[in-house]
Amino acid sequence: MKNLNIGKFEIGPGKNTFIIAEMSGNHDGDIKKAFAIIDAAKKSGADAVKLQTYTADTITLNCNKPDFIVPPGPWDDFANLHSLYKKASTPWEWHAELFEHARKIGLEVFSSPFDHTAVDFLQDLGATAYKIASPEITDIPLIEKVARTGNPVILSTGIAALEDIELAVKTLRENNCDRFVILKCTTAYPTPMSEVNLRTMLDMQKRFDCLVGVSDHTLGLTVPMAAVALGASMIEKHFTISKEEGTVDSFFSLDENEFNQMVNGVRETELCLGNVEYIPSPKAKVNFDGRRSLYISKNIKKGEIFTPENVRSVRPALGLHPKYYSSILGKKAKVDLEIGDRMSLDVVDL
Please indicate, yes or no, if residue 65 is contained in any of the structural domains: no
Per residue in 69-121, pLDDT tens? 998 888 888 999 999 999 999 999 999 999 999 999 999 999 999 999 999 99
197 shares a domain with 332: no
At residue 325's C-alpha, the angle toward residues 322 and 326, to 5°, is 140
Q: Say if residue 1's pLDDT is above 80.
A: no
Residues 263 and 305 in one domain: no
Is the pLDDT reported for residue 65 higher than 80? yes
The secondary structure of residue 232, as a DSSP letter, is: -
Residue 100, in any domain of the structure:
yes
Judgement on whether residues 237 and 311 belong to the same structural domain of the protein: no
Among 38-47, 71-80, 98-107, 209-218, where is mean pLDDT lowest? 71-80
Q: Output phi, psi for 237, to 5 deg.
A: -140, 145
> Are residue 265 and residue 288 in the same domain, yes or no?
no
- Which 8-state DSSP code applies to residue 34? H
pLDDT of 177-202, one tens digit each?
999 999 999 999 999 999 999 999 99
Which of 227, 243, 273 terminates a domain? The answer is: 273
State the Cα torsion 98-100-102-104 to the nearest 10°.
Answer: -150
Tell me which of 248, 273, 298 is where a domain ends: 273
Domains: count for the chain: 2
**Shared domain check, 303 and 269:** no
Tell me the DSSP string of 182-220.
EEEE---SSPPGGGT-THHHHHHHHHHTSEEEEEE--SS
pLDDT tens figures, 257-298: 999 999 999 999 999 998 888 988 888 888 988 999 999 999
pLDDT-based confidence at residue 6 (cuts at 50, 70, 90): very high
Judged against a pLDDT cut of 90, whether residue 348 lies above it is answered with: yes
Residue 70: its pLDDT value, please?
Answer: 92
Whether 20 and 43 share a structural domain: yes
Residue 62 resides in a domain: no
Condensed to tens digits (0 to 9), the pLDDT of residues 116-168 reads 999 999 999 999 999 999 999 999 999 999 999 999 999 999 999 999 999 99
Distance (Å, whole) CA 5 – CA 12: 9
How long is the chain?
A: 350
Residue 114 counted as domain residue: yes
Domain holding 320, by residue range, is 282-349
Rounded CA-CA distance 214/228 in Å is: 9
